[in-house]
Every structure is written in structure tokens, then in C-alpha cells.
Structure 1
Amino acid sequence: MEAGALQQEDPVQDEEAEEQLGEIKLYRIRWLIISIFVLYAAVSSLQWVQYSIITNIIVKYYGVSSVAVDWTSMISMVTYPPLLLPASYMLDKMGLRFCALIGVTGTAIGTWIKMFSAQPDLFYVGFIGQTVVFVSQLFILSLPPKVASVWFGPNEVSTACSLGVFGTQLGTALSFIVSPLAVRNHDNLEDIGRELSHLFYGVGAVITPVVILVFIFFKAEPTLPPSIAQAKLRLNKSEFTNKEFLNSYKSLLTNKPFMVLMFAYGINIGVFAALGTMLNQFVLSYFANAEKDAGTIGLLQVVIGCLGVVVFGVILDKTKRYKEVNIVLYVMTILGIIAFMAALETYSKILVYISGCGLGFFQNAYYAAGLEFGVELSFPQPESSSSGVLISMSQICGTIFTLLLGKLLATVGAFWALSLMVGFLAIGILVTVFIPNILLRQKALGLTGEDKVFLPKNNDRRM
């Protein structure tokens, strides 16, 4: 494995630190690792709204209710929280590479199952495949902070995490547009079935080479640590035990600042998940026969959001102002929802597109910034554990919000349904303001003055 130039850490590494922690290196292969992860995450999230973004067509073809179609997206929210603990256990015990292999293989199997579901009486087959794909996402969604910290230097870690999240967002963006482009609202059910079959086989063809790439190139960790923080963790690393694993989650769930963030994060990303699931129905309630517009709006939201993820990832690396960035993104998310509501009421597609892009830019950026803030508040607990807990809360909130939006859309209309989401977001920003600005990971990176402290054994974190 070829090593790149040494990362220059801030503060300066002195001789005593060199003796205690050993050599620190950045490997060029880290960029291949993160690139493979981006592909891996993208193909999985490509299937998130594969059905729900064309809800009206799926209802016609399979003869199922719109609620049943909503569940093809919500199944990801329902399966994640109860399976988080066993998935995290496997990650801590078996390592990053093992879980990446399990995740990508499961994603491929679920994708291949759906290839046999393009018949009007086989909706349940597609639902099974969708469930397998989303169970496999347990080994994707919470990994960006883990991959970033294990492979990247301290001045790259937030950017690398943002790139990992970018993979998920890229796949989500494509999921909004691929289905509407591939499957049209034909009068003839056979034509719909043929196009659904092409869609499922196309995604299956994409996932297969990604599986091969992960098996060949994806590594668990570099030979030498990329940062002082990782060197400390390796120095204090002990044998994996069930007790240490459970203590890690106990530490997270008794960490008051982290728990407050969990509540706020769950609301924000839960609203995003609910809006993505229901986007087709919201747009069609204002614009007839606008399936492609719904898909394009969703695509642009996430594509612009990917830019936001990267921009704010760089800002976090440069400024280390995690709380302040989270607050700004939260406020802009609320304003984005309000603008989207107003645009729908004007019946102007142009304004709906513009407001949707603005909302996507800030809400997607919050997805990564919130995970990074969680790592700071919970260090030295595993990044995958803190991210998993945050995402679990967002999935629970997403399920609740999706069901609420469906009910309210049918009874009081889109404006009041979205108004309720604004109310929830207002609560989220209020509690975010009260989160203590404690950056434990940043303190661990310091090796001068009062920050020159090595982690005790009982705060061990698995690699």
C-alpha cells in the first residue's frame, strides 16, 4: 500500500507525542476507499423512493393502496432502529470491511429479488426485495463518520464524512428521477410492466460491479493511523467484549448534550424523509399529471443538497464551529419549508423548483453536519454508534411524520400538513440552541497545554 505525504497536524506534533503515539501517515488509497463507499451508498439509496415517486403508477399497476406504496419507502425507517444494535455489534466485533461486504451483498440480493416482481400480482415480491435492501442499509448510513476518521487526517475528516454522505444523497437524487423517466403512466398495464422490468434489471446491472469493487478493494483500516486521535485510540485499544460494547451505548444514552442533539436531528431529517416519500402526492395535489416534475424537483433538491453537504463539510473542517453551523442550517431549513409552502400556493412550478432547491441545499447539508456534531459530543465513543443512534431517531420521526402527512394531506390539505412540519422544526431549532458546545474530539486532537491528555483504558473505542 503506497503512502502519501505526512499530514501536518495542528497543533504541532512534538517529540514526546511521536514517542508515545508512533508514526502517523495518510495513505493515497484513502481516496479509493471513500470513492468505493460513495458508489456503494449511492446504489443502495437509489432505491429509496423507487416506488413512491411514481405512486399513482404503482397503484394502477399492482392494484394496491397509496399507503402500501408509501411503506416501500417507510420500511427503511421501520427496520433501522430495532436492528441498529446487532448491526453495530457486528461492526465493532468484525470490523469495517466485513460489514461493508455484508451490506453490499445484501443490497445486491434485494435488488436481484425485485427483478422478478414485474407482474401485477407480485407486489409482495418487490416489497420483500425492498426490505432486504433497506436492512442492508444498516451497514451504510452510519458509516461515513467511521470511514472518515479511520482513513483521513484531522483537517480532512469532516470533508471525508461529507463525501460519504454525498454517496447516499447522490443515490437519493437519482431515485427521484430514474423511476419517472423509466416508467410512464400508460393506459396499458403490459407497457407499465415492461418498463418496470427494465427499471429493476437496470439497477441490478449497476449493483453487480459495485459488489466486485467492494470485495477487491475495500479495506478495514490503514496500517498506520492517519491522525493523533486515531493513534490514541489504537494505543488504548483492548479486546472487544460485550460489556464494553453495551457500555458504549450506555454512555451515549446518558450523554445529555448528545441526547438533545438526537431529538433535534431526528426532527430535521425525519421531516426530510417524510417529504421525500410524499413528494409525488404533494406535487400532484397542485399540478395534474406532474409525475416527472415531482421526480425532477426531488432530483434537484438532492443534487443541490450534495453541493451543500460538501460546502459545509469544508466549512466545518476550516472553522470547527459545529454548533453554530448546525443552528444556521436548521434555521435555513425552516425558511426553506416555508418558501416551499408559499410556492405551492402560488401554483407556480418555477417557484416550486426554486424553493425546493433552496430547501435541499440546507437540509441535506444538515444531514452530514449533524452527524459530525454528534461525533464531537460523544467522543471517544464509536462514530458508527453515535451516527446510528442519530439516524435511528430520524427514521422513527420519519415514519411518524410520513403517516401524519398522509393523513393531513387527505383531510386538511398540503398547506396545513406542511405547517405542522414547520412547527416540529421550530421545536428542533429551539432545543439545538441549548446544546452545550462541547467538542470532545477536537480537544483530543490537541497535544499542547491543557489538552495534552491521553484517553483512559475504560474509554476505549473499537477500530
Structure 2
Amino acid sequence: VSLYNNTDIRVCKLGIAIGFLIPPVLVPNVDDINELAQHISFMFYITAAVASLIFLLVVFVFQEKPEIPPSLAQVALRHMPTAQYSYLASISRLFRNKPFILLLISYGLNVGCFYAVSTLLNRMIIEHYPGEEVNAGRIGLTLVIAGVVGSLLCGIWLDKTKSYKETTLSVYLLSFVGMVIYAFTLNLGHLWVVFLTSGLLGFFMTGYLPLGFEFAVELTYPESEGTSSGLLNCSAQIFGIAFTIIQGKIINHFSTLAGNIFLCVFLLIGSIMTALIKSDLRRQKANSQPQTEGIAVSMF
């Protein structure tokens, strides 16, 4: 499951990277409204075709679950009676899990900040570097590609060390530092600095994504990974929408710097909340416990 989750994240970020790069090329900055509408329609037709292809792959190709369980903990879960599972009961148990609640909020703050930066990136770049629409897309591409590398390296590090809280907290703090550096260097007038700071920001903020998912699974085992991951995504979407709207209004009334400082404050709050999480690695305990002979044999 860990491999699937991390792979999903990297593929998702690759799609976002393409989304930063392609639209400025397909939809140039032209004054003719009719020509602009044609370019936008062409882009949407491409999006619809790709989405339709993915839909067909999901229906006819994707497996519901791997044939061989990826861990002893997953073997144990498969041997539990399905009749005992209740989605609402699982949600209720998760909301009584204090470490998970702290992670749920801190994850939403981090990823919500990333969504806000990604959404308003073009606007922030153009405000300080007029006429650089294409480079704004390239900066977004840099942010996401660096994030793909970050998620890969963070996932490898986590797999080797099993230091879930320590790694999650370290990357969270580095995300905060990266956001501070980005905020105070955006207006220096050098695009290469923006490329560099955006790459740094993307590396840690996107690198945090698989760490949050994996830490959540550890804190909530034996609850379904789909339930905990779904709640994390829901939290990220809620904070992402709120931060994007609020940061946009702050930029309108004050400045880009003020909007980015707004995000820095919440990243600092999220870092503090992450430090308060009690590291109860339930899945690791399940993997280390002796399994019954029948369960062990079923893995092979």
C-alpha cells in the first residue's frame, strides 16, 4: 500500500507539472477574445480526451488490490471478517484518535498552503515580472518536478529509517523555511532566484505528502488506509480553498509579500502541531508481532 500511495502521489504531481507547462503554450496572451476562446476550447478538448482515457483504464485495467499483500499488517487485515467493518464507525474512531486529529489539521495546513501557492503562482510571478507568463509556467513546472524528487527521496528515507515523526517534523520545518525564503526573495527582480526558491519550496512541501499519508496509516492501523487518506485529502482541499481565497484577498488589498507571510504563519502553526503528535506506530507493531502460520503462508 505504501508503494502504491507514493507512486500515486508522484504520478499526480507529474500531471500537475504538465498542467503548469502546457496551458501557457496552448493559451497565449492575446487580445482577441474569439481567438482566446478557441485556444481555451482546444485545451479543454485535450483535457477531456485524456480524462476519458484514464476513466477507461480505471474501469478495465486497474486492480482493486494487489494479489500479494505488501506487509504482514495487510495480511492480518485481509483475514478480518468484512462484515465487522463500518465506514461510519471507522470515521468515528478516527475522530477520537488525538494524534491523528493533530496530523489531520497539520497536513491540511501544509498541503493547503501548497495548493494556494500553486494556484496563485502565475499571478504572483506576473506581478513582479510582467510579460513572463511562459516562465511562470516553467517555474510551476520546477516547483512540481522538485516535489516529485522530494517525495521519492523522502519515501526512500522513511522506508529505510522508519522514523515517521522525526522525518515528518523535519520536512515540515523545512517547508516553513522554504516558504519564508520564497516570500522574501520573490521581489528581488531575478527570475533565476525564483526558480531556485520555488524548487526548494516544492521539494519539501511535496516531499511531505507521502510522509503524511504513511504517518497517518501508522497512527490509525488497523483502520482502512483509504479512510485515513481520504480524510487527509479532504482536510487539504478545505484548507486549500480557504487559503487560496484569503491569500488572494490579502494580495489584492496589501501585497504579495503579505499573502505569503500569511501562509508562513500557518506553516509555523502546523510545525508546532506536528511536534505535539504522539508517535504511536501501530502498523510497525503489527508487523513485528509473530503471525499465525496460516497468515504467514498466505503471503507466499
Where does residue 279 of structure 1 map in the other structure?
Answer: 121
- Cα separation, 2, equivalents of 1:176 and 1:267: 22
Q: Is the 8 A contact 1:261 1:374 kept in 2?
A: yes
Rounded Cα–Cα distance in structure 2 between residues aligned with 1:348 and 1:290: 12
User: Which one of the candidate residues 238, 243, 260 is aligned to 1:401?
Assistant: 243
Amino acid in structure 1 at the alignment position of 2:95: L
Inter-CA distance 214–426: structure 2 relative to 1 (3 Å threshold): same
For residue 295 of structure 1, the aligned residue among 137, 140, 145 is 137
> In 2, Cα distance between the equivalents of 1:400 and 1:225?
38
Distance 1:213 1:420 in 2: 41
Instruction: Give the aligned residue type for 2:48.
Output: G
TM-score (norm 2): 0.93
RMSD: 1.8
Determine helix, strand or coil for the equivalent of 1:436: coil
C-alpha displacement of 1:420: 1.4
Q: What residue ranges of structure 1 are gaps of 5+ in the alignment? A: 1-147, 149-156, 454-463
1:224 shift after superposition: 4.6
Q: Deviations over 1:152-191 (max 9, x none)?
A: xxxxx3x432111111111111111111011001122222
Give the letter for the 1:363 counterpart. Answer: M
Following the alignment from structure 2 to structure 1, what is the Cα–Cα distance between the partners of residues 199 and 270?
22
1: CA distance between counterparts of 2:137 and 2:92?
41
Matched residue SS, 1:346: coil
Distance 1:224 1:303, change over 3 A: closer
Equivalent of 1:373, from 215, 231, 251? 215
Please say if residues 161 and 313 of structure 1, whose CA atoms lie closer than 8 Å, have aligned partners that are also in contact. Answer: no
**Contact between 1:278 and 1:406, CA under 8 Å: does it hold in 2?**
yes
2:182 corresponds to: 340
Query: What amino acid does structure 1 have at the position aligned with 2:62?
Result: F
Q: Does 1:354 align with 2:196?
A: yes
1:379 Cα deviation after fit: 0.7
**What's the counterpart of residue 55 of structure 2?**
211
Deviation at 1:230? 1.6
Determine whether 1:245 maps to 2:87: yes
- AA at the equivalent of 1:309: S
* Paired residue type of 1:433: A
* CA shift for structure 1 position 316: 1.1
1:191 aligned to 6, 27, 35, which one? 35
Task: Please give the alpha-carbon distance, in whole angstroms, between the structure 2 residues aligned to 1:240 and 1:290.
Answer: 57
SS at match of 1:174: helix
Map of 2:284 onto structure 1? 442
3-state secondary structure, aligned to 1:438? coil
Superposed CA offset, 1:329-356 (max 9, x none): 1111111111111221212111011000
% same residue = 34
User: Counterpart of 2:9?
Assistant: 165
1:261 aligns with 2:103: yes
CA distance 1:356–1:223, change in 2 (3 Å): closer
- Aligned in 2, Cα 1:330/1:223: closer, same or farther, shift over 3 Å? closer
**Structure 1: how far apart are the matches of 2:24 and 2:34?**
17
Q: Partner of 2:24 in structure 1? A: 180
2:187 aligned counterpart, secondary structure = helix
**SS of the residue 1:239 aligns to:** helix
Normalising by structure 1, what TM-score?
0.61
In structure 2, relative to structure 1, the CA distance for the partners of 1:223 and 1:285 (3 Å cut) is closer
| Residue in structure 2 matched with residue 227 of structure 1 by the alignment | 71
Q: How many residues align?
A: 293
Whether 1:201 and 2:49 are equivalent positions in the alignment is no
Output the CA distance in 2 between the equivalents of 1:224 and 1:304.
Answer: 32
Alpha-carbon distance in 1 for matches of 2:55, 2:130: 40
CA–CA distance in structure 2, aligned partners of residues 424 and 222 of structure 1: 38
Q: Which runs of 4+ in 1 moved over 4 A?
A: none
Deviation at 1:281, TM superposition (A): 1.3
Q: Residue by residue, what CA displacement relative to the aligned partner does 1:12-58 show, whole Å, maximum 9, x if unpaired? A: xxxxxxxxxxxxxxxxxxxxxxxxxxxxxxxxxxxxxxxxxxxxxxx
Which of these residues, 262, 266, 270, is aligned with residue 424 of structure 1?
266
Query: What's the offset of the Cα at 1:212?
Result: 3.1
* Distance (Å, rounded) in 2 between the aligned partners of 1:288 and 1:245: 50
AA aligned to 1:332 is L
Shift of 1:240: 6.0
Structure having the larger proportion of residues in helix? 2
Unaligned runs of 5+ in 2: 293-300
Give, in angstroms, the shift of residue 203 of structure 1: 2.1
